[in-house]
Amino acid sequence: MGTDTQLRFDQEAIKQYSQTNQEPSWFLEQRIAALALTQTLELPKLEKTKIDKWNIDQFHPFQTEASVETIAELAEIVKELVDVQGVSSLLIQKNASVIYKQVADELKAEGVIFTDLATALREHGELVQKYMHTAVKADEHRLVALHAAACNGGTFLYVPKNVEVKVPVQAIYQVAGNDSLIAPHVVIIAEANSRVTYVDSFVNGEGSNMVASSVVEAFVGSNALVQVASVHSVSDQVHDYSFRRAVVEQDGRIEWILGEMNDGNTVAGNESILKGKGSTADTKSITIGTGKQRSNLTSKVQHYGTHTDSQMLSKGVMTDEAVAILNGITKIEKGAEKANGEQAENILMLSEKARGDANPILLIDEDDVTAGHAASVGRVSEESLYYLMSRGIERRQAERLVIIGFLDPVVAEIPIEGVKDRLRQAIERKLG
Amino acid sequence: MATVPHLQINNLRAKIEDKEILKGLNLEIKGGEIHAIMGPNGTGKSTLASTLMGHPKYEVTGGEVSLNGEDLLEMAVDERARAGLFLAMQYPSEITGVTNSDFLRSAINARRGEGNEISLMKFIREMDGKMSTLEMDESFAHRYLNEGFSGGEKKRNEILQMMMIQPNICILDEIDSGLDIDALKVVASGVNEMRSEDRGFLIITHYQRLLNYVKPDFVHVMMQGRIVKSGGPELAERLEAEGYDWIKAELGIEDETVNAE
């Protein structure tokens, strides 16, 4: 490893941060082990995307920030994401600090834990240890190892069995300042028969050469329902790496709603492991590629249990000189009888120089299953434009209606109004 | 202020790909008039509708069309619409993600122009009223445009758009095909409600059926890409009773379609 990939933080920095947050020793040991792994592990192998020249590890991970007392004091970009009426449990992290936290009393009363990772490590260390990095392991590749070593916050959400959390809980992650890092680790544990919706947003403040490196691990108990909605809209000054994975027990269900609205280079891997019989997964994601950004977005479902069902829908709009690779992988393991996996990737191309690849992949090791895929790459249909224009709508506006409409079936599913509005704004902004 | 609408078509010729379909068509429509164009399949009726609206697949190769004195053929599709032309289509597009009401409001505002947008309240009131005339369920306002609509629902939706946009010249392209008699009556009542001195209609149809409910002033028969016979409402009745063969015989036409050379 050459000097150019020298990290900007070392074991001492990790120890210091760990001590400041009174992390348990096992967690510090994990960090140190992960730090060693960053020197030996390879980057993940990504279909048609070379990331070795991207900003992988050039960041200062432990920049602390002052907390705020009220939502009014938050930066505008963060404040507008907060739906004061709709959300009562909210966590806001800026760089390596939780700057605002609010938890509804009802949640506490029902035994739900919704807190930042550092607090969870101090107060519920054993519970965290039982789950953390069991779905997304630190030794998978260098990006996860870097995350595990430099993790600077995150959210811990635990829902006891039979508890239905009716109002979505929300987290906002903001990275700001030159060479800053936001590296939240999110652990969601939904016990049997519980329900919960977690919504997060990634935004950035002023600064250059920033990195976002996040991991979400969701553990969906039997007959539980977990909905995760995530909107990433950071600037071209941020390289964003996110890895999300859910493990779903019998008759449980995971629903992902993902808005990849970054202006910068992005790697996102989203995976559902359908372990229990009859477990199901639904993944909907949208992206808009603009400028010269490069994105590699993978949705994957692994079927282990019998009678499992997965649906995946990825939609991309590509313009300028952007390149996006949308991978959809349906993997049905031997023994997953009566499983069904459906996936579709649809890409709308708006410019000659943009590129969008839709790669549907079905890997099936069991005979008694059904699976299907549909992929399309196309342009805005002239027939649709003709129809809209025949009612007096100008061509440019007609195109926008069609493009925004193409994405809307996913946007409409975002469970928090503030986040949905912001996503719509991000779409408008990206389409210029 | 409004002058009486006037659509003048002179010797119109048009082709799709390399095939000429309209072969010198003449027609004049003024406000207050209802014209019906009848004719067997393949005689160019729908091509006429699409060419007038400016469908990109059709290329005009000759002739002139003016709308209220302005050259229609020089205008883009959206300009034609804003100049007052409307086409209720035979096969309306389905547009995912755009709700019927958002679409209609955009269309109305496009015609009204910036700074003169319709108020949301007024829009909702008008849309509710017209949907009830057309016996459309309220849910259609919030559904994606034509997506998953049945054939009959699409046709009603076309008429709803016409009633909301209030155009000067309305072309209805086989609006009656695929409608049962009840739906046909509903659609016809929508058209009749719109009948006025400020508005001209061109109704394209295979069948006399619709004309029982919407009484035309003029009936034209199209064959081989042009109008070959014109008359009053009695012409439609005779066609219904006797078919087209007598016209073919009268005019010495063997193959009435545009394929005929």
Residue A283 forms part of a structural domain: no
CB contact under 8 A, B95 and A401: yes
Contact (CB, 8 A) for A176 and A188: no
- Chain A positions touching B98 (Cβ under 8 A) are 401-402, 404-405, 408
- Chain B positions touching A397 (Cβ under 8 A) are 106, 110
Mean local confidence (pLDDT), A401-426: 90
Which pLDDT score, from 0 to 100, does residue A86 have?
74
- Three-state SS sequence of B52-99: HHCCCCEEEEEEEEEECCEEHHHCCHHHHHHCCEEEECCCCCCEEEEE
Same domain, A64 and A183: yes
Contact (CB, 8 A) for A271 and A304: no
Same domain, A272 and A385: no
CB contact under 8 A, A383 and B93: yes
Angle (CA) A209 A213 A216, round 5°? 160
Boundary of a domain, candidates A226, A248, A276: A276
Nearest CA among A54, A93, A425, A64 for reference residue A236 = A54
Residue in this structure with the two tokens 């941020």, named with its chain if needed = A238
Q: How far apart are CA A306 and CA B79, in angstroms?
A: 58
Which pLDDT score, from 0 to 100, does residue A5 have?
66
Which pLDDT score, from 0 to 100, does residue B260 have?
63
Same domain, A261 and A390: no
State the pairing for strand pair A309-318/A280-289. parallel
How far is B186 from chain A, CA to nearest CA, in Å?
22
Q: How far apart are CA A84 and CA A203, in angstroms?
A: 18
Residue A65 forms part of a structural domain: yes
How far is A266 from chain B, CA to nearest CA, in Å?
26
Q: What is the pLDDT of residues A174-187, one digit of tens each?
A: 999 999 999 999 99
Q: Is the pLDDT of residue A4 over 60?
A: no
Q: Which helix (H) or strand (E) holds B51?
A: helix B45-53
Q: How far apart are CA A125 and CA A65, in angstroms?
A: 24
Quote the percentage of chain A above a pLDDT of 70: 99
Same domain, A118 and A244: yes
Cα atoms in the 13 Å half-sphere on the side-chain side of A136: 26
Contact map slice: A 365-404 vs B, CB within 8 A: 381-384, 386-395, 397-398, 401-402, 404
Boundary of a domain, candidates A255, A276, A297: A276
Nearest CB partner across the interface for A390, out of B87, B97, B102: B87
Which pLDDT score, from 0 to 100, does residue A2 have?
38
Distance, first Cα to last Cα, chain B:
47
**Model ipTM?**
0.96
Which pLDDT score, from 0 to 100, does residue B2 have?
57
Q: Which residues of B touch A (CB under 8 A)?
A: 53-56, 76-78, 80-82, 86-87, 89, 92-93, 95-98, 102-103, 106-107, 110-111, 144, 161, 165
Q: Is the pLDDT of residue B3 over 90?
A: no
Which pLDDT score, from 0 to 100, does residue B208 have?
86
Q: What is the pLDDT of residues A369-409, one digit of tens each?
A: 999 999 999 999 999 999 999 999 999 999 999 999 999 99
Q: How far apart are CA A174 and CA A183, in angstroms?
A: 10
Mean confidence (pLDDT) of chain A: 95
Q: What is the pLDDT of residues A271-312, one digit of tens each?
A: 999 999 999 999 999 999 999 999 999 999 999 999 999 999
Mean local confidence (pLDDT), B109-131: 94
Q: Is the pLDDT of residue A126 over 80?
A: yes
Sequence-distant (6+) residues with CB within 8 A of A333 are A302, A303, A304, A365, A366
Give per-residue burial for A271-281: e unless 16+ CB within 10 Å, then b: bbbbbbbbbbb
Mean local confidence (pLDDT), B19-43: 96
Q: How far apart are CA B49 and CA B191, in angstroms?
A: 17
- Three-state SS sequence of chain A: CCHHHCCCCCHHHHHHHHHHCCCCHHHHHHHHHHHHHHCCCCCCCCCCCCCCCCCCCCCECCCCCCCCCCHHHCCHHHHCCCCCCCCCCEEEEECCEEEEEECCHHHHHCCCEEEEHHHHHHHCHHHHHHHCCCCCCCCCCHHHHHHHHHCCEEEEEEECCCCECCCCEEEEEEECCCCEEECEEEEEEECCCCEEEEEEEEEECCCCCEEEEEEEEEEECCCCEEEEEEEECCCCCEEEEEEEEEEECCCCEEEEEEEECCCCCEEEEEEEEECCCCCEEEEEEEEEECCCCEEEEEEEEEECCCCCEEEEEEEEEECCCCEEEEEEEEEECCCCCCCEEEEEEEEEECCCCCEEEEEEEEEECCCCCEEEEEEEEECCCHHHHHHHHCCCCCHHHHHHHHHHHHHHHHHCCCCCHHHHHHHHHHHHHHHC
Q: How far apart are CA A118 and CA A419, in angstroms?
A: 25
Distance, first Cα to last Cα, chain A:
41
Residue A357 forms part of a structural domain: no
Question: Which residue range(s) make up the domain with B226?
Answer: 6-92+151-251
According to DSSP, residue B136 is labeled: -
Q: Is the pLDDT of residue A432 over 90?
A: no
Same domain, A387 and A271: no
Tokens of B116: 């003169």
* A10 touches B at CB < 8 Å: no
According to DSSP, residue B221 is labeled: E
Which pLDDT score, from 0 to 100, does residue A246 have?
98
Residue in this structure with the two tokens 């996503």, named with its chain if needed = A423
Q: What is the pLDDT of residues A43-60, one digit of tens each?
A: 999 989 999 999 999 999
Nearest CA among B25, B9, B18 for reference residue B223 = B25
Q: How far apart are CA A395 and CA B56, in angstroms?
A: 13
The residue among A419 and A326 whose pLDDT is bigger is A326
Tokens of B246: 């007598």
Chain centroid offset of residue A360 CA: 20
Q: How far apart are CA A82 and CA A89, in angstroms?
A: 10
Residue B1 forms part of a structural domain: no
Tokens of A387: 């129809």
Contact (CB, 8 A) for A364 and A338: no
Tokens of A267: 């790697």
The phi, psi pair for A325, rounded to 5°, reads: -110, 115
Q: Is the pLDDT of residue A1 over 90?
A: no
Nearest CA among B102, B83, B93 for reference residue B55 = B93
The residue among A276 and A422 whose pLDDT is bigger is A276
Strand partners, A340: A309, A370
Q: How far apart are CA A317 and CA A380, in angstroms?
A: 10
The total number of structural domains that make up chain B: 1
Mean local confidence (pLDDT), A28-39: 97
According to DSSP, residue B253 is labeled: -
Q: How far apart are CA A252 and CA A295, in angstroms?
A: 31
Q: Is the pLDDT of residue A363 over 90?
A: yes
Residue A311 forms part of a structural domain: no
Sequence-distant (6+) residues with CB within 8 A of A298 are A46, A47, A268, A269, A270, A271, A326, A327, A328, A329
According to DSSP, residue B19 is labeled: E
Q: How far apart are CA B82 and CA A185, in angstroms?
A: 54
Q: Sign (positive/negative) of CA torsion B58, B63, B69, B75?
A: positive
Nearest CA among A140, A161, A270 for reference residue A221 = A161
Contact (CB, 8 A) for A237 and A205: no
Q: Which of A391, A410, A423 to mutate to test the interface with B (most CBs of B within 10 A)?
A: A391
Boundary of a domain, candidates A225, A254, A276: A276
Contact (CB, 8 A) for A299 and A332: no
Chain centroid offset of residue A171 CA: 12
Mean local confidence (pLDDT), B210-229: 96
Q: How far apart are CA A349 and CA A326, in angstroms?
A: 13
How far is A401 from chain B, CA to nearest CA, in Å?
7
- Chain B positions touching A405 (Cβ under 8 A) are 95-98, 144
CB contact under 8 A, B110 and A386: no
Quote the percentage of chain A above a pLDDT of 90: 91
Q: What is the pLDDT of residues A75-98, one digit of tens each?
A: 998 988 887 777 789 999 999 999
pLDDT band (50, 70, 90) for residue B1:
very low
Question: Which residue range(s) make up the domain with A420?
Answer: 380-432
CB contact under 8 A, B111 and A394: no
The total number of structural domains that make up chain A: 2
CATH number, residue B203: 3.40.50.300
Contact (CB, 8 A) for B66 and B30: no
Nearest CA among B223, B225, B232 for reference residue B250 = B223
